[in-house]
Amino acid sequence: MSTPSTSRLEREEPAEPSPGELEQARAVPRRRMILGGFLVRWRELLLVAAALSALGALVYGTHVRDGGFLMDDWSNAAKTRFLAACCGTGSTGQGSGYLAQVQNLLADGPAAYHIGLPVLIPFSFYAFRPAIAPHLALAVALGVLVSGCMYAVLRSFRVAPVHALLMAALVLLFPWSDANRLWAMASYNQLAVVLWLVGLFVALRGLRSRGRRAVVLHAVALVLYAAGIAIYELVAGPVLVSVAFYLHRDPGGEIAWKGMALRWVADAAVTGLTLVAVVALALPRFAIPLEQQVPFALVVADESLTLLSFAAVPFAQPWRGLVVGVLLAVLVAGAVVRGRLSADDPQRGTLGHWLAVAAAGVLVVGAGYALPLLGGYGRPLSAGIENRVNLVSGAGYVMIVYASAAVAGHLVARAARRPPAWATAVPVVASLVIGAGYVGLARESAARYDRSFAEQLQVLNAIRDAGPYPTGALIFPFGYPSFTAVGVPVFAWIWDLPPASKIILDDPSPAAFPVLPGTTFTCADHSVLPSNAHGLGEFQRGRYGNTFFVDVPSGRTVRLDDYAGCQAAVARFRPGPLMKGRECALAGPGVATRLGWTCEDGPPPLMRP
């Protein structure tokens, strides 16, 4: 039986493509690189890392050069150098070496509220001492790493490179979480977010695998999740909602609901066990009663809407109702238009994609505040070093704003009968304008941190020049401003100035304590008792002959030798202002950076959110 002959069409050689067709074929990869979606590759990640690093250096480079330690940094420095006591004179005598440093950091002080930080901190202080700038450079580098990991996760959901890069850059600049990039101690928190994002990326890769490989990949993700929570328990909330990203990554339901449920149960179990370990091994934190959680949640929700409006309009004091209303109207309009499009219309998928990004942003915002809600600490509009609470949620605000701009772009392009590619211009231009506002606010904030370090050096130099001091001396400096802005302290708590004085004196024996406005001193027969609502009390009682008052502006120093000398010194020495140029006071007792301000000449000088 003979085989059928092939047709003339099949025998003909394909025609040579025209120059126009060749150019169009070459343009497709370029267009996909900007607008299309494909799996992220290492070369792409390296280029993104280089771009984000350049942006970080441009915005935060002067802070790395001019900034310094703040608050908890001094405690970490003194503990790793001297195994010093957190908030008093002397050292703990726990031996020497890395394990002793871990034990000392875990025993008391700011790092002791976590179980991961005491393990990490000695490495950086061993590598960088006595230099300070590398600590600040590391803070920026970790911020770049967070944004780079966010880029990779966005790309795994087929967000186009240009959009993923712009969102990652806005997160790096986001000025309402900048404590994590300007403050060395808070910068370690970023590593927790990196571990969560890398774990999420690995878990998503596991969804594309089967059998043993899928199990191994999710097990790796669980290890990364646990390590992140151990460093900063704030990421426990994002870990628990990661299943939503699993479900979105598997829209066809190729993985049975049972498989998804098992993944979530594993995530929840690891989260719970890690939090139990944190509670057992770290200094205790307690959840507030439920009747207090609900009102606090309402405050957080209210402030979240305000912060969303600032995130979209960072140039002035926008009207929250208008900005949030516009964002909501755009997203609702996008959902309505999408619902009216046919299933085969490409714009239906595109609008659905950006609506999903906005929904993911809302989820990230809520998850980022889950743990603070339980503990009753940290609010979206917290200023200065306290805005670290927005570390995770900041990415959510950016996603909501960017996705709204993208939806608006597609609606405008559709109404104007322009090609869909034109819609890209709206979120790109909007992000560049918003980013310019972020840069201005970030630089203003960095300047406040830099001024704080300059003021700190004046206090420390005055303390050093007034020495030498006897063993176990207590030193009280006067006349310096306690803050350069709300939430940006000079010296304002019992675990910043005591260790800083040990570092400047190169001696763990003495300790200086901050004298905030409102501090009083009571002279007794053999000692003087300092008192304020911000940490000073019986523990800081100083005996005569071993207690010193130092006036920072003039350098005048008095040793309190007896009751009469104490009375004379208390009458002569006065605390400095809360902040230069303003008559302000802290509202309530507690950690000074977490309190509200009241000022006689108008509203408190809050950092513009």
| HEC profile of 124-161 | HHHHHCCCCHHHHHHHHHHHHHHHHHHHHHHHHCCCCH
Does residue 175 carry a pLDDT above 50? yes
What pLDDT score was predicted for residue 511?
Answer: 93
Using the 8-state DSSP alphabet, how is residue 401 labeled?
Answer: H
Picking from 456, 113, 37, the residue whose alpha carbon sits closest to that of residue 283 is 113
Q: What span, in angstroms and rounded, lies between the C-alpha atoms of 94 and 48?
A: 45
Q: Do 475 and 469 contact (CB within 8 A), yes or no?
A: yes
**What is the model's pLDDT at position 401?**
98
Within 8 A by CB and 6+ apart from 31, the residues are 421
For residue 343, give the 3-state DSSP assignment: coil
Q: Give the least confident one: 153-167, 199-213, 402-416.
A: 199-213
Q: Report the C-alpha gap between 71 and 126 in whole angstroms.
A: 19
Bridge partners, residue 579, by sequence: 582
Residue 558 near residue 565 (C-beta atoms within 8 A): yes
Q: Looking at residues 92-97, what average pLDDT do you find?
A: 65
pLDDT at 147: 98
Q: Which helix (H) or strand (E) holds 527?
A: strand 527-531
Quote the DSSP letter at residue 5: P
Confidence at residue 377, expressed as pLDDT on a 0 to 100 scale: 83
**Unique residue bearing structure tokens 């003979």:** 2
Q: How far is CA 64 from CA 69, 133, 278, 446, in A?
A: 11, 5, 32, 9
Is 439 within the bounds of a domain? no
43: tokens are 């070369």
User: Quick one: average pLDDT of 158-177?
Assistant: 96
Total domains present in the chain: 1
Burial (Cβ within 10 Å: 0-12, 13-18, ≥19) of residue 289: exposed
Residue 84, CA distances (Å) to 87, 183, 452 in order? 9, 21, 24
Q: What is the C-alpha separation between 71 and 595, in angstroms, rounded?
A: 16
pLDDT band at 252 (very low <50, low <70, confident <90, very high): low
Question: Mean pLDDT in the chain?
Answer: 88
User: How many CA within 13 A on the CB side of residue 212?
Assistant: 0
What is the C-alpha separation between 516 and 576, in angstroms, rounded? 7
Paired tokens of 470: 């006897």
Provide CB contacts within 8 A for 433, sequence distance 6+.
none
User: For residue 21, what pLDDT is reported?
Assistant: 42
Q: What was the pLDDT predicted at 396? A: 97
Give the residue among 163, 159, 153 at the shortest CA–CA distance from 246: 153
Does the residue 274 lie in any domain? no
What's the confidence (pLDDT) of residue 112? 85
Give a yes or no: residue 497 inside a domain. Answer: yes
Greater pLDDT, 364 or 113? 364
Residue 29: its pLDDT value, please?
Answer: 45
Residues 6+ apart with CB under 8 A from 18: none
394/267 Cα distance (integer angstroms):
23
Contact predicate 460/501, CB 8 Å: yes
Q: What is the pLDDT of residues 303-314, one digit of tens each?
A: 999 999 999 999
pLDDT of residue 261: 85
Question: pTM of the entire structure?
Answer: 0.89
- Domain containing residue 528: 470-599
Of 555-569, 573-587, 590-604, minimum mean pLDDT range: 590-604
pLDDT-derived band at 38 (thresholds 50, 70, 90) equals very low
Per-residue DSSP letter, 598: E
List the end-to-end C-alpha distance of the chain, in Å, as a whole number: 84
CA 404 to chain centre: 24
Contacts of residue 4, defined as CB under 8 A and 6 or more positions apart, other chains included, come to none
* Sole residue written with tokens 């441009």: 58
What is the per-residue pLDDT for 52? 97
* pLDDT score, position 4: 44
Taking CA atoms, 425 is separated from 67, 174, 366, 432, in Å, by 37, 22, 29, 11
Which tens digits make up the pLDDT trace of 192-201? 999 999 999 9
- 161: pLDDT strictly greater than 90: yes
Cα dihedral sign for 590, 595, 598, 599? positive
Q: pLDDT tier at 419 (50, 70, 90 boundaries)?
A: confident
What pLDDT sits at residue 448?
Answer: 95
Q: Which of 183-192, 207-216, 247-256 has the highest mean pLDDT?
A: 183-192
Alpha helices, H only, 250-392: 257-281, 290-312, 320-340, 346-368, 370-375
Length of the chain: 609
Q: Pull the structure tokens for residue 50.
A: 């280089």
Distance CA 202, CA 417 (A): 41
In a domain, 367, yes or no: no
Q: Nearest Cα to 609, choosing from 397, 355, 327, 462?
A: 397
Q: 503-544 pLDDT, tens per residue? A: 999 999 999 999 999 999 999 999 999 999 998 999 999 999
Main-chain phi, psi angles of 473, to 5 degrees: -65, 145
- Token pair 């031996």 in the structure block, residue: 95
pLDDT of residue 10: 37
What number is the average pLDDT over the span 430-439? 97
Backbone φ and ψ of 545, nearest 5°:
90, -15
Alpha-carbon span 568 to 566, nearest angstrom: 5
Model confidence pLDDT, tens digit, residues 458-491? 999 999 999 899 999 999 999 999 999 999 999 9
What per-residue confidence (pLDDT) applies to 254?
61
DSSP 3-state of 531: strand
**Which pLDDT does position 32 carry in this prediction?**
45
Residue 373 pLDDT grade (very low, low, confident, very high; cuts 50, 70, 90): confident
Q: Looking at 11-25, 282-296, 457-471, which range is the least confident one?
A: 11-25
Residue 181 CB-half CA count within 13 A: 32
In a domain, 560, yes or no: yes
Q: Is residue 593 part of a domain?
A: yes
Residue 161: asked if its preceding bond is cis (omega within 30°), the reply is no
533 inside domain: yes
pLDDT attached to residue 606: 54
Kindly state whether residue 559 falls inside one of the protein's structural domains.
yes
